[in-house]
């Protein structure tokens, strides 16, 4: 029994030392950053990207994307952080997981090379604003609301009344502007792989598999995260670089229990425009 315990302690010690050595800024390294879930708070990801940009031992970045998208602003902030990283002359390679759709695809676009699995769900290029109308339900239970506002559009998307035709036109113009930003963001880095005409023909919210996305020029290759790491080494000419994952620091108890973040309820963020797969 004592031997088993000693072996376990030795094994854990080796793993911990290996993990610690991988994190030391010594020699050439490839950083791996994960983006998982709905993209609403971009700051933790941006901090990691900036840290990797400033670290001279980091020769390339692999962005592991497993996200259905999120808010427009948050997606654009990560996109811009990747542009800043590339300005340091370091390559970026994206590895798509189960889903990299809408905003998840948006943040992948600046990469020098994009990998998807054959069955990755991607695409869903488009913009969405949703409105829920509780007016009839509230009327049935005898509840009415009053809004005192400074302008006719101040309570647009209020759940307590229907949208006016003028408001619908106003919202349509808003999402069309965000949509055009999405198209421009893609063409900035992929115009040599997909034409604007072709892009707009498929940028209607449809989802597609990784294989389908490769055929139309939205991704570059079919492969997993190990393929992405190999490509990052190749592009950075650092074939012997060590790989390390830039993950959020967790206390021992949280790591031991494997606790995850609570489920994200988008309703807590109020009115937003989304690059989000629905």
Are the CB atoms for 85 and 49 separated by under 8 Å? yes
Give catalytic status of residue 102 as yes or no. yes
Q: How far is CA 113 from the centre of its chain?
A: 16
Are the CB atoms for 72 and 178 separated by under 8 Å? yes
Annotated active-site residue in 149, 154, 168, 198: 154
Task: Name the residue with tokens 């009344």.
Answer: 161
Q: Is 245 exposed, middle or buried (0-12, 13-18, 19+ CB in 10 A)?
A: middle
Are the CB atoms for 122 and 219 separated by under 8 Å? yes
Query: What value does the CA radius of gyration of the chain take, rounded to a whole number of Å?
Result: 23
Give catalytic status of residue 108 as yes or no. no
Residues paired with 65 in a beta bridge: 35, 96
Q: How far is CA 60 from CA 90, 123, 222, in A?
A: 5, 25, 20
Torsion-angle region of 163 (φ positive above 0: left; ψ -120 to 50: alpha; else: beta): beta
Annotated active-site residue in 67, 71, 95, 102: 102
Are the CB atoms for 25 and 57 separated by under 8 Å? yes
Active site members: 102, 154
């Amino acid at each position: 029994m004592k031997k088993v315990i000693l072996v376990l302690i030795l094994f854990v010690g080796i793993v911990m030392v290996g993990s610690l050595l991988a994190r030391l800024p010594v020699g050439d390294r490839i950083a791996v950053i994960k983006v998982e879930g709905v993209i609403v708070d971009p700051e933790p990801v941006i901090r990691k990207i900036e840290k990797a940009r400033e670290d001279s031992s980091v020769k390339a970045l692999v962005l592991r994307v497993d996200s259905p998208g999120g808010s427009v602003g948050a997606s654009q902030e990560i996109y811009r952080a990747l542009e800043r990283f590339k300005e340091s002359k370091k390559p970026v390679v994206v590895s798509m997981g189960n889903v990299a759709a809408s905003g998840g695809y948006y943040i992948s676009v600046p990469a020098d090379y994009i990998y998807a699995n054959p069955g990755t769900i991607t695409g869903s290029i488009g913009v969405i604003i949703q409105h829920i109308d509780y007016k009839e339900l509230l009327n049935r239970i005898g509840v009415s609301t009053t809004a005192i506002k400074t302008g006719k559009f101040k309570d647009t998307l209020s759940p307590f009344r229907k949208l006016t035709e003028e408001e619908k036109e106003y919202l349509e113009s808003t999402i069309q502007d965000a949509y055009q930003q999405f198209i421009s963001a893609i063409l900035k880095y992929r115009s040599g792989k997909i034409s604007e005409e072709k892009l707009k023909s498929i940028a209607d919210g449809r989802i597609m598999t990784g294989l389908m996305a490769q055929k139309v020029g939205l991704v570059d290759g079919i492969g997993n995260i190990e393929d992405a790491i190999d490509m990052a080494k190749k592009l950075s000419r650092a074939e012997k670089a060590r790989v390390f994952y830039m993950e959020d620091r967790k206390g021992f108890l949280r790591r031991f229990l494997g606790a995850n973040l609570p489920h994200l309820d988008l309703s807590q963020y109020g009115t937003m425009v989304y690059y989000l797969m629905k």
